[in-house]
A and B are shown apart, each in its own frame.
Chain A
Amino acid sequence: MTAEREAEVLVIGGGNAALCAAITAAEAGARVLLLECAPRHYRGGNSRHTRNIRCMHRAPTRVLTEAYPEDEYYEDLLKVTGGNTDEALARHVIRTSEPAIDWMSARGVRFQPSLGGTLHLSRTNAFFLGGGKALVNTYFHRAERLGVEVLYEAEAIDLALDAGRCSCVTVRQDARTFAVRARAVVVASGGFESNLAWLREAWGPAADNFLIRGTPYNMGRVLRALIDRGAQAIGDPTQCHAAAIDARAPKFDGGIVTRVDCVSLGIVVNREGVRFYDEGEDFWPQRDAIWGRLVAQQPGQIAWAIIDRKPIGRFMPPVFPGVRADSIAELAAALGLPVQAVVKTVQDYNRAVQPGHFDHAVLDGCRTRGLSPEKTHWALPIDSPPYYGYPLRPGITFTYLGVKVTPRAQVQLRDGGLAKNLYAAGEVMAGNILSKGYLAGIGMTIGTVYGRIAGEEAARHAAGARQAA
């Protein structure tokens, strides 16, 4: 250790939850130091890639239509998690999400109507004008005006827990390592999705074929340190938000544009040229988060979406153009797939398609009969050239393994006690609420609500310690 620093409240992380915590603590009068391990340009963790927040509301608001009551929100959460959530925490998050919009607006966050093609979210999710990076910029400006000191490329690599008290955090910046002592510490440093070795530990060699959609900076070092030093872990390390994204996307940080939204309008085959799941089960945004896992379970962790001319213009334009061919056989060859198998799959599928009125905007009646698996909506024959193929890989957005917290964001310890001055917010504790599955925009809800709680508690603890001292 070459130097020491002190702060009243130390916030580890630079995303939405960390910023909400830092702003809340600074507004309560605490002297705050924030550690962002990314360079300034890539600050904000996965919040850079977000675009909305899911909020409960009892009546239409400035930015949300109709009403989205607590019970409906909770039911939605139960559906995606299969009932495996901490009800007290979840309901607390849902209830506290109602005033969140006003809190955010008061700190400069701007909202916009639902983005094109996301009208179905206009009731439940408030969209940030310009997306998550604009939100992160706004919060950083706000935090800086409040006097929060921000260190970039400063990575917390370890922390000491003595009798439930976090006495010291070890930080690496450039080539130096130094200790930070703070009266209270908020950990909001995200999950471990960028840590390829850890992903491999959880998933085995299949993980080598995963792409990471989000930040390359979520190495999970603080999460690991917390667990190693006695925090109670929660969640399954293989559980994560994983979409099926274009296999040609960069290994890290490809973000939203790498999505392939034509899956529900065509068919998806694996390396053997065989279909493996109902592509038309539900609207794509409701299903994209399960397709990452589905592709991860296929041989070679790869699959291909195939469409013909008909859906063009009816789904969000993909960033990588589809591989194009004038016949299915040529397309299969161009994609490097077994030609006969693909031709047979398409023939069988086309024969199984039932007559119906196609409408991609509703759950229409177009389906197959006699296939395994069936395609239950939007099943049109694939018979109008040109044909297009898009390679798919699992794209990990974020992981769910975290630390167990109380409703007041205090970190719970394996020995049954509570950490005294250590709070967690955001992705690092989202596993308390999200054991699996995903509900669009709930990550930002958890981060905002728990960021504020953690900031408030940390500031209160620091003020108590200041008076005692």
Chain B
Amino acid sequence: MSAPSGDLHQEGARQMGICNSCRYCEGYCAVFPAMERRLAFERAELEYLANRCHGCNECYYACQYAPPHEFAISLPKMLGEVRAASWRSHAWPAPLARSFERGGLVAALALAFGLAAILALAAALGGGGASLLAARAGGDFYAVIPHGVMAGLFGAVGVFVLAALVAGLLSFWRASGEALAGFARAHALAGALKDALSLKYLDGNGAVGCTYPGERSSQARRWFHHLSFYGFLLCFAATVTGTVYHYGFGWVAPYGYASLPVLLGTAGGLGLIAGPAGLAWLKLRRDPATANPEQTGMDTAFLALLVLASLSGLALLAWRETAAMALLLCAHLGVVLALFLVLPCGRFVHGVYRFAALAKYALEQRRPGLDPGRE
């Protein structure tokens, strides 16, 4: 279990106080310029800084005060813990917050498997037992699960997920001391969007990458994250295209192998296999001095669901004209549904809170800061 959050934030204030007196790392990332605008580090400030931190670990390896030094500074570890605690405390609805604590690999897999089984059972009961294992010419998904059911189910889950994410975002935003209207300011949104889409802070400060998973610089994490992030966006684009095809043009799935939704989905799916698998592999090799072990279960669960969703989706594409289609479809939909359900209480939220932190940074940069003069 984590330390009580009071201790965690006390420890955070202690470490940031030392960092703020040193400042050698200020060139590494935007945590430090934000730190330098402050003299005290209460919970709100710590949560803001923690969600700016990308865990590149540069500051840890460069730190003259890292353990075993008695000052025992490890910002990646401390900020990682504060970050995870902030996701827990801002999660909505409250029971979701508790699932942050439990959200491990086994729970995620059980959820995916359970949902797939329920879908398969419903499909079997709905269509008569034998039809579940019959090959269908043209790979007609909607013969297994009617379009209305599929759209309704995912629509409802989608609305819930969106509401939960927005609620968490707003709670974090208010706790950080910003007015709601600030979020809508053009320069805040533009600044945050620009930094987020370019993954600016994963750039590894120049050409060498960051010190992850170990002390030597590497670009591996950046590239795996790019594959995951843009793979996710491509899959999302495939879904949007399919929806437009369906409702806009009346073109009903399944779509041809050379069609836009399938091409986008295939490219995205490949990215979402290689990216998360690579990130998980790096995570296994990560320096324990910088890691937050409590976070490992949740991270692995999310990565595993991403890989499984992509694998099952590509398998469905490959075997959609065979007798395995119905079961593959249920498996894929079960995994995707599970993935959606854990979005607001899992690793995915880092993107949401980071976006808010980037927006706050854009606002803050236009305000006057402290002036330590010539030291």
Chain A residues close to B by CB (< 8 Å): 41, 48-49, 51, 108, 110, 112-113, 115-120, 127, 129-134, 137, 141, 250, 253, 255-257, 259, 261, 283-285, 312-319, 360-361
Stretch touching chain A among B17-25, B143-151, B232-240, B350-358:
B17-25
Chain B residues close to A by CB (< 8 Å): 17-18, 20-28, 36, 39, 58-59, 61-66, 68-71, 205-206, 208, 215-216, 370-375
How far, in Å, is B35 (CB) from chain A's closest CB?
10
**B17/A131 in contact, CB under 8 A:** no
**B26/A116 in contact, CB under 8 A:** yes
Complex Cα–Cα for A312 and B38 (A): 12
Complex Cα–Cα for A433 and B58 (A): 34
Per DSSP, chain A at the interface is: loop
Per DSSP, chain B at the interface is: loop
Complex Cα–Cα for A377 and B56 (A): 43
- Residues on A with beta carbons closer than 8 Å to the beta carbon of B39: 312-313, 317
A-B pairs with lowest CB-CB distance, top 9:
A112-B27, A131-B24, A130-B62, A134-B62, A257-B21, A360-B373, A319-B21, A117-B372, A117-B375
**Chain A, Cβ-Cβ closest to B216:** A141
How far, in Å, is A36 (CB) from chain B's closest CB?
16
**B22/A255 in contact, CB under 8 A:** yes
- Residues on A with beta carbons closer than 8 Å to the beta carbon of B215: 137, 141
**B62/A284 in contact, CB under 8 A:** no
Sample 22 A-B pairs with CB under 8 A, ordered by A number: A49-B64, A108-B208, A112-B26, A116-B23, A120-B374, A130-B25, A131-B25, A131-B64, A133-B63, A137-B62, A255-B64, A255-B65, A256-B21, A256-B24, A257-B18, A283-B374, A313-B372, A314-B372, A315-B372, A315-B373, A361-B371, A361-B374
How far, in Å, is A283 (CB) from chain B's closest CB?
5
How far, in Å, is A262 (CB) from chain B's closest CB?
10
How far, in Å, is A270 (CB) from chain B's closest CB?
24
- Residues on A with beta carbons closer than 8 Å to the beta carbon of B23: 115-117, 316
- Residues on A with beta carbons closer than 8 Å to the beta carbon of B206: 110
**A41/B374 in contact, CB under 8 A:** no
Q: A319-B21, A360-B371, A361-B373 are in contact. List 15 more A-B contacts (CB 8 A).
A: A51-B24, A110-B205, A115-B23, A115-B27, A116-B26, A119-B374, A256-B24, A259-B21, A283-B374, A314-B370, A314-B373, A315-B372, A316-B21, A317-B17, A361-B371
How far, in Å, is B150 (CB) from chain A's closest CB?
51
How far, in Å, is B72 (CB) from chain A's closest CB?
12
**A115/B62 in contact, CB under 8 A:** no
Q: Which of B64, B65, B372 contacts A316 (CB 8 A)?
A: B372
- Residues on A with beta carbons closer than 8 Å to the beta carbon of B71: 257
- Residue among B27, B69, B70, B205 facing the most chain A CB atoms (10 A cut-off): B27
- Residues on B with beta carbons closer than 8 Å to the beta carbon of A49: 64
**A133/B62 in contact, CB under 8 A:** yes
Complex Cα–Cα for A266 and B271 (A): 60
**B69/A253 in contact, CB under 8 A:** yes
Contact A130:B373 (CB < 8 A) given known A255-B65, A313-B39? no
Complex Cα–Cα for A316 and B371 (A): 9
How far, in Å, is B195 (CB) from chain A's closest CB?
19
- Residues on B with beta carbons closer than 8 Å to the beta carbon of A137: 61-62, 215
**Chain A, Cβ-Cβ closest to B36:** A116
Q: Which of A48, A108, A116, A360 contacts B64 (CB 8 A)?
A: A48
Complex Cα–Cα for A387 and B142 (A): 76
**B64/A133 in contact, CB under 8 A:** yes
Complex Cα–Cα for A134 and B58 (A): 8
- Residues on B with beta carbons closer than 8 Å to the beta carbon of A116: 23, 26, 36, 372
**Chain A, Cβ-Cβ closest to B73:** A257
